[in-house]
Structure 1
């Protein structure tokens, strides 16, 4: 009875309008069916799975995405695995910096410069790639990135002088595709479940920086540093072939919710098979929608203005400042860990890589636990407001406190990451067992990874229809700050000592939390004002 009363209140509103994000509306018959058939989600809560019964027949076309749950997981994990190449390329030769500097006859600071320019390019290039993927589709963007990476890794394996290394590292970074997996999440997943799925998309961002120093240390020690790039070449070719053959197009401006066949340039074997199977089951294609999407489809030079628009948004800017200082702490630790552990504990390349596993362990744990907390808190607020939840339909967030929902989970994790960086810095300044800084590395990995996940999800929520562009805006901030931090952390530690160097960065991170705190309190109000202005 309570469900029916609640249904009577919301039925007309949900049936009459969809999300302002051009997402699928709640059909009236589906809402009524949903309220009568709750699906158990977690203790004391339900997540309604709205059946597609319209006019007496099964209709999948009004759902947010026609892909099944297993297909969504496979798509997002595949995209994340592609991004692994980008994140591995960034840090895989950290343990080999001294070896490379000796072989090329240059200082270690010049080799560190190649890391800096890599991060700068990795920040700027995705602004173009993301905009390209929003117009041309995710698949053409992935193919372009892999072609660039393959050419760059081939050249890096063959080069033998510093300037060739510098140029090819810039080219290698231009092929970064790590932000595209965030676009896949936005294409397929509603806000109610983005916390869980963003964990899948973040796997590459976590495993890349964590595993690549281990691989780099082992490869450089056993086979020489040039084999680092041969390994990346083999890896990129091995991933590129199945992605080119089987990753379906998901961009909503190209295939809508996956029910419209993509243009031939975006098609592959999985698309052809999927639409053939849909036709055999009597599921028609909306020809008017297909003609409209194909008419608007363009392969053209991308314009980064969309990313700049996201950066200029006040709410986004507050969040990105916090993200930037969080990543400053993270990159400072990763960049300097090799020299620090070698000088203090006389570690080998392999031992340094194994010590760095602790930060990866914290990141992996954070990736999956924070996603669960985010989805739980979202459901809690929806239940408090008597709003229905669905895996198949996107809720209208204009009157939902999405900032409060996300940042109630995020702010404590942000503070934990900052305190972990402070603790790590001061343990390096003391004559103490190596186990203690390793514990703090784990805390840093957990807290800062949680920060990036929460802000990734929130940026997707407040920028509907611009999922990859929002991820590119986040990426440009974290990479440019990471590049600056990588360049200054060594002289900063030398001048101030490890304790004060990391405390300075962590305090900047803590002061920046005023931005998310203000967003948590006033974010929904700001979104309404922006909506009224038609932005």
Structure 2
């Protein structure tokens, strides 16, 4: 939205990027801008054409996606529900930890180890290579074996080259097999190993769901779509522990895995029939039919309707996109390159600490509420409801806060720059970090306070209402902070949303594994109050990273982009030299 004023004269012409298009009424047709003096009286279409012509190089010349708003929402909901499998598989297990320990005749610490290993595999599994602009480095490592888990075959690089749908299929096959085996076993060693296999199958769905967001939504729309993409992952801490507690209490803990098997098979049928291929490297804006490995009913019907409406497939564009289609054996180097970038590392560590605090409290709650309040599995599961409800409230409010902050006068209206709905904007010279982190940092501070409050309340065994309120605030603040940083990391890597999310997954799950392993011994040695205070202070220290990113992030992005452009140019020059030698 634009309004000419005195302040706009000093604004950089590309200071836009995150302006929301939430107020537009049609997808890809109505520009989300106020008409300037010259455009008054012009039609919406003429305004859009004029705006794009005036700002070539900053605004994309074509629509970002041909999918309608309702289609985008439906796709993201399907992806979000499949992403539920990963956090659900972890959290449905928490209320049954005490029952499993008794049934298998092992200690609680050993059963907690199955949670830790689950998180480790969940973090490592989706890592794989994708083209991040370092071709010379990647080519030197081709063929190297990276033993990081079965899912190294799947997400990020695999889905970028082979499509989202084939990656989903492999995830579900592994996950279904693991659930069947877990339901039939009765051994601690089998439980430990199969939980890792189960994690390998489910973890990729989270990265793929975020990949769908990057495929379909521009940075200006990402805030409003984040609720649709995140609702599934938030169902994990909200609904899953209750389901797990009821099943464990009345049917036995084996039936948890039978339930997961039935649910995953049902999800797989829906996904196989109706989820269209969205990978931009294969289908572009959605106007190009997918390769044969990605075809489904939805895509077939959609392209048939487009043909009837007179939309002809651009064969030249189709041929160019088909060059990207490859069934590759990926490696984790692309994800590691994201982690090696300074700006990304600071953001990812902060996100990882936020989620690790979430995991630590969830894991410690099973033992804490049993020992302090004498709860059984069912009542323990109900204690996860406040933290989950706080997270759900956060999901449906944080996205609006992100867009509102970007629309606000200090970020948009004072800038003489247009925003066109469904058109990607060049963010290279826009301080997107500041716009996002102005929402995240207050949530960090609120989360620190709630963690400390929860720990001391549990240490003194206050009325149950106290921990419930703290868990709600904790769920709201930690999810809001991590959700905002998730949007930011995709903004920083707009062309590789799955790879960026995989890097996020690494830090989130590995730090979560450390936190879940440490919180039990820390609580026993220091008491709940000091244990959670220590955790909160470590979390607070990571705020220095986002603060530095707010100040220097744009400069770091520009420097990285220059290196990527140089590396890409060198690669093109080498190809040209080889072609010249061949012709000669």
Q: What TM-score do the two structures reach when normalised by structure 1?
A: 0.89
Cα deviations by residue, 1:8-40 (Å, 9 ceiling, x for unpaired): x9xxx99xxxx9xxxxxxxxxx999776769xx
| Farther-moved stretch of structure 1 (245-254 vs 427-436) | 427-436
Change (3 A) 1:291 1:348: same
Change (3 A) 1:52 1:481: same
Secondary structure at 2:158 match in 1: helix
Instruction: Determine the structure 1 residue equivalent to 2:81.
Output: 81
Alignment pair present for 1:499 and 2:529? yes
Count of aligned pairs: 502
Instruction: Determine the structure 2 residue equivalent to 1:419.
Output: 449
Query: Is the contact made by 2:210 and 2:497 (CA closer than 8 Å) also made in structure 1?
Result: yes
Instruction: Determine the structure 1 residue equivalent to 2:140.
Output: none
Q: How does 1:256-335 map to 2 (within 5 A)?
A: 256-335=284-363
Higher relative contact order (Cα pairs below 8 Å, separated by 6+ residues): 2
| Farther-moved stretch of structure 1 (430-439 vs 232-241) | 430-439
Runs of 4+ in 1 over 6 A off after TM superposition: 2-6, 30-34, 48-54
Report the Cα offset of residue 328 of structure 1: 2.3
Change (3 A) 1:280 1:61: farther
- State the distance in 2 between where 1:437 and 1:36 align: 48
Instruction: Determine the structure 1 residue equivalent to 2:374.
Output: 346
Instruction: Determine the structure 2 residue equivalent to 1:171.
Output: 197
Instruction: Determine the structure 2 residue equivalent to 1:220.
Output: 248
Change (3 A) 1:269 1:501: same
- State the distance in 1 between where 2:472 and 2:239 align: 14
- State the distance in 1 between where 2:124 and 2:497 align: 17
Cα deviations by residue, 1:174-225 (Å, 9 ceiling, x for unpaired): 1121121111001000111111212221112211122211111100101110
Secondary structure at 2:125 match in 1: helix
Cα deviations by residue, 1:414-445 (Å, 9 ceiling, x for unpaired): 11111110100010111410100110011110
Report the Cα offset of residue 531 of structure 1: 2.2
Change (3 A) 1:363 1:31: closer
- State the distance in 1 between where 2:104 and 2:31 align: 69
Instruction: Determine the structure 2 residue equivalent to 1:44.
Output: none
Report the Cα offset of residue 299 of structure 1: 1.0
Alignment pair present for 1:108 and 2:108? yes
- State the distance in 2 between where 1:33 and 1:343 align: 59
Alignment pair present for 1:133 and 2:159? yes
Query: Is the contact made by 1:328 and 1:505 (CA closer than 8 Å) also made in structure 2?
Result: no
> Which of 166, 176, 181 is the matching residue for 1:155?
181
| Farther-moved stretch of structure 1 (167-176 vs 491-500) | 167-176
Instruction: Determine the structure 2 residue equivalent to 1:27.
Output: none
Report the Cα offset of residue 512 of structure 1: 0.8
Instruction: Determine the structure 1 residue equivalent to 2:260.
Output: 232
- Name structure 1 gaps, 5 residues minimum: 20-29, 39-47, 55-59
Query: Is the contact made by 1:315 and 1:519 (CA closer than 8 Å) also made in structure 2?
Result: yes
Query: Is the contact made by 2:430 and 2:554 (CA closer than 8 Å) also made in structure 1?
Result: yes
- State the distance in 2 between where 1:463 and 1:260 align: 23
Alignment pair present for 1:482 and 2:512? yes
Report the Cα offset of residue 119 of structure 1: 0.6
Change (3 A) 1:501 1:35: closer
Instruction: Determine the structure 1 residue equivalent to 2:553.
Output: 523
Change (3 A) 1:275 1:283: same
Instruction: Determine the structure 2 residue equivalent to 1:72.
Output: 72
Cα deviations by residue, 1:305-329 (Å, 9 ceiling, x for unpaired): 1111110110011111211221221
Report the Cα offset of residue 107 of structure 1: 1.7
Alignment pair present for 1:510 and 2:540? yes
Instruction: Determine the structure 1 residue equivalent to 2:394.
Output: 366
Instruction: Determine the structure 1 residue equivalent to 2:236.
Output: 208
| Farther-moved stretch of structure 1 (522-531 vs 179-188) | 522-531
- State the distance in 2 between where 1:520 and 1:373 align: 18
- Name structure 2 gaps, 5 residues minimum: 18-27, 37-43, 51-59, 128-151, 566-584
Q: How does 1:401-480 map to 2 (within 5 A)?
A: 401-480=431-510
Query: Is the contact made by 2:3 and 2:415 (CA closer than 8 Å) also made in structure 1?
Result: no
Cα deviations by residue, 1:99-145 (Å, 9 ceiling, x for unpaired): 11222222221111111111100001111312211111111111111
Secondary structure at 1:183 match in 2: helix
Instruction: Determine the structure 2 residue equivalent to 1:145.
Output: 171
Instruction: Determine the structure 2 residue equivalent to 1:23.
Output: none
Q: What TM-score do the two structures reach when normalised by structure 2?
A: 0.82
Q: How does 1:22-41 map to 2 (within 5 A)?
A: none
* C-alpha RMSD of the superposition: 2.4
